[in-house]
Amino acid sequence: MSRIVHFVHQSADGFIHGPNGEFDWPVMGPELSAHSEGLSNSAEAFLYGRVVWELMSSYWPKAEEYSDHEHDLAFAPIWRDKPKVVVSRTLTAAEWNTRVVGDVAELAGLGQDMVLFGGSDLAASLTERDLIDEYQVFVHPVVLGGGKPVFRDPGKRFALRLVESRVFDSQVVLLRYQR
């Protein structure tokens, strides 16, 4: 089985986006960007659920047209080149070097180390099946007051082992847990 790392940004009050779907609050300073780039380069593939895939594929193919932020300029070519896997029951095909699978059970046969970016629904499904090996939770200095929680009901209680905590750019805290 491949190794899956869940990389997720969350607010201080535990949400991955605000009450109206806002995702304009993550602080991508140079240290966090460098960490993200290192993790992205080490992954054999990126993993998404359909909703996050649609957000990512609407931005990263032409990120340079939308932004001049250093992080965006560094990550866009990595994103375009890296193989991607989308788990979806409704999507049948996707562009940008992307494979679509209909069920999480199909991930075992891929044999790739993957980074799951965001997506609480897919993360919950993978967590239920004990398929996430590591959680990298980045807590940002913002309170959203509602929205979508980072951990949807995983269907069971489970323990994690804290293997690292770190502060990036004097404001974002990484909590890195392993199963």
pLDDT of the residue at 86: 97
Tell the burial category of 81 from Cβ atoms under 10 Å away from its Cβ (0-12, 13-18, 19+): exposed
* Domain residue spans of the chain: 4-178
Asked whether residue 1 carries a pLDDT value surpassing 80, the answer given is no
Q: Domain 4-178 maps to which CATH number in 3.30.365.10, 3.30.70.20, 3.40.430.10, 3.40.190.10?
A: 3.40.430.10
Cα–Cα distance, 104 to 123 (Å, whole number)? 10
pLDDT of the residue at 73: 93
Position with higher pLDDT, 129 vs 47: 47
Give the model confidence (pLDDT) of 70-89 as tens digits.
999 999 999 999 999 999 99
pLDDT of the residue at 2: 82
pLDDT of the residue at 154: 66
Position with higher pLDDT, 140 vs 130: 140
Which tokens hold the place of 99?
């494979």
User: What is the CB neighbour count within 10 angstroms for residue 136?
Assistant: 19
